[in-house]
Amino acid sequence: MPELPEVETVRRQLHPVLSGARITDVAVRRPDLRIPLPPRFRGRLRGQTVAALTRRAKYLLVELSSGETLLMHLGMSGSLRIEWRGAVRLPANRHDHVVFDLDSGARVLFNDPRRFGFMDVLTPIEREQHAVLSRLGPEPLSAEFDGAALARACRAKTTSIKAALLDQRVVAGLGNIYASEALHVAGLSPLRRAGMLATPTGAPRDSAHRLAAAIKQVLNDAIARAGGRRYRSSRFRVYDREGQPCGRGECDGVIRRRPQAGRSTFYCPVCQR
């Protein structure tokens, strides 16, 4: 499943192509994605100018001149690629399910072999009341996310820190890979109770500040490396490195894997306390 760094990387790649462009046509080659495309999908997009391309958690938001928003989620195998008029185009791919033609001569193709991604077109009210978007917590790379915000969100939680980080109401867009990575950077055990990040009065402990900073660090590092899909396991600190040396300074620990909430958690039992 693409995590925030991958989606942000896609957004940055698409931004110079989509921003300010007019959608001249939309070809729907297969409408039965994970969620069927909405009624009049093609008609609601044709002729619209892209006012902005933003991201919320793991969702791409294409803001249109009509006031509506094209919501896109890549799912497990989805991707977006750009082709240009006059350039040599790749052979037709049976997994190119939706194609957007732009007035600049660019073409943006949504490819999804497993069809777990989806698209929707939202009115302003639908966007505000969206079942997922309306419940998301703060963006981890935003100024509003810090140790204090993390402590407030986790204060009453009795679940593990790892499970809390995967709760999108606590922090938006953080996934399994980078939750494990951030906990290692912060030196915190994923097994500890999330509520320990706050004092009894709700004030953030030092561990909350360390963890919030670590989350920002691992996400920014991943984005700088062009997203997680180009990330080899050897470049991770703990993720997918079960049985390998920890690698933190003088730590002589060995990375362990443990199931948590149906996901694999990787951590060092020696330096993560």
Catalytically active residues, by annotation: 2-3, 58, 263
**What is the distance between the terminal CA atoms of the chain, rounded to a whole angstrom?**
28
Buried b (16+ CB within 10 A) or exposed e, 185-208: bbbbbbbbebbbbbeeeeebeebb
d(CA 101, CA 106): 6
**Residue 240 vs residues 75, 191, 199, 220, 222: alpha-carbon distances, Å:** 21, 18, 33, 20, 16
d(CA 23, CA 126): 22
Task: Note whether 177 and 3 are within 8 A (CB).
Answer: yes
